[in-house]
């Protein structure tokens, strides 16, 4: 299941709408994306101040977790161990800020790898 997202036009996308998949998430909150629209650049960064479609991404991520299909899940969100069913069942109903807290808690508990620093 591909986690392709529509990224809004903004300076980081050269003011064009882009289709991309999240490749990497860094400690500082920046994101590296792989373009899926055959436009240049083929990889681009978004900073924490840029607009990223978190709701859409987390919805698709939840489906991947439910299916157990981690093929296209970016490494920072690929579970290292089975996420408890009660977390998966309630995740979709939570507000975005709570989803971020759940992800941070799961990361601290070893369900995901630590986020790398950006080089």
The number of C-alpha atoms within 13 Å of 73 and in the hemisphere containing its C-beta is: 22
The residue behind tokens 């392709």 is 4
| Structure confidence by residue, pLDDT tens digits, 98-116 | 999 999 999 999 999 999 9
CA atoms of 50 and 104, how far apart (whole Å): 20
Contact yes or no for 70/59 (Cβ under 8 A): no
Residue 1: pLDDT over 70: no
CA atoms of 63 and 16, how far apart (whole Å): 28
Question: What confidence score (pLDDT) does residue 13 get?
Answer: 96
For the chain, domain boundaries: 4-46, 54-108
Higher-scoring residue by pLDDT: 1, 118: 118
| Structure confidence by residue, pLDDT tens digits, 33-70 | 999 999 999 999 999 999 999 999 999 999 999 999 99
């Amino acid at each position: 299941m591909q986690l392709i997202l529509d990224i809004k036009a903004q300076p980081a996308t050269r003011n064009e709408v882009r289709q991309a998949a999240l490749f990497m998430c860094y400690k500082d909150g920046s994101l590296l994306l792989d373009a899926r629209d055959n436009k240049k650049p083929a990889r681009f960064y978004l900073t924490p101040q840029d607009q990223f479609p978190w709701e859409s991404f987390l919805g698709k991520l939840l489906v991947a977790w439910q299916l157990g299909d981690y093929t296209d899940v970016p490494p920072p969100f690929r579970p290292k161990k089975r996420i408890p069913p009660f977390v998966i069942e309630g995740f979709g109903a939570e507000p975005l800020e709570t989803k971020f807290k759940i992800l941070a808690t799961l990361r601290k508990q070893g369900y995901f790898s630590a986020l790398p620093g950006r080089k």
